[in-house]
Amino acid sequence: MAAGISALPIVTVVALLVGAGIVAETGIELPRLGIQNLMGPIVLHVIFGIVGPFATALIVIARSTSGLAVEIGNMRVNGELDTIEMLGVNLSNFLVTPRLVGIVVSNIALTFYFGLIAMGGGFAMALMGLSMPIATLVRMIETSIKLTDLVLPVLEGLAYGTIIASVSVYHGLRVKNSPVEVPRETTLSLVSSLSLCVVMLSLYLIFSALA
């Protein structure tokens, strides 16, 4: 949980910029195509359904994957994991599950937070950059928002969080006895998390388009 809270500043900055960028792009391009009335649902879908969850996952990968893999890998090298088991303490209950749950819950919360802040950045861009009355954008969002727009980031945050946490813990536990295995497994955990999240995003985009 502490990892999630400490990620708030970077998520805030990224979300503000991403939200502003998306609203700037849609605010300029959609009127040229004559479909400015779709701005609300498009902004909502892109921020809450696609970019928000994935950008949050990238931030969590950058911040937490390496930290978790290094922590567990070093515990293995120092004999701490063996000691936990020797003392009759369940390794899964004491070490693995709390970290898995922590990352998954943090990721869901951060995904939702990202979406809200990105909308704030979008409003700021609409007001200051596009000279668009903020009430217009609010009305567009208000009339197009659906329950799925709010459920989707939770489900995506859950999926990305599960991937990131499982991969990190798996690679941390793969360390055997040598300290040189720790950076190797850490790099692998970063690459694996990133690859799996990209696969997850692609599958989501394909199947949501087909649905």
The residue (of 29 and 82) whose beta carbon lies closer to other proteins is 82
Contact stretch for other proteins (CB under 8 A) within 8-16, 33-41, 77-85, 104-112:
77-85
The residue (of 34 and 88) whose beta carbon lies closer to other proteins is 88
83 binds other proteins (CB under 8 A): yes
Q: How many CB atoms lie within 10 A of CB 107?
A: 30
178 binds other proteins (CB under 8 A): no
| Residue 28 neighbours by CB under 8 Å, 6+ apart | 130
Contact stretch for other proteins (CB under 8 A) within 11-19, 80-88, 120-128, 152-160:
80-88
3-state SS of 133-157 is CHHHHHHHHHHHCCHHHHHHHHHHH
Alpha-carbon gap, residue 142 to 138, rounded angstroms: 6
Q: Greatest CA separation found in the chain?
A: 69
180 binds other proteins (CB under 8 A): no
Q: Which residues bind other proteins (CB under 8 A)?
A: 71, 74-75, 78-80, 82-90, 93-94
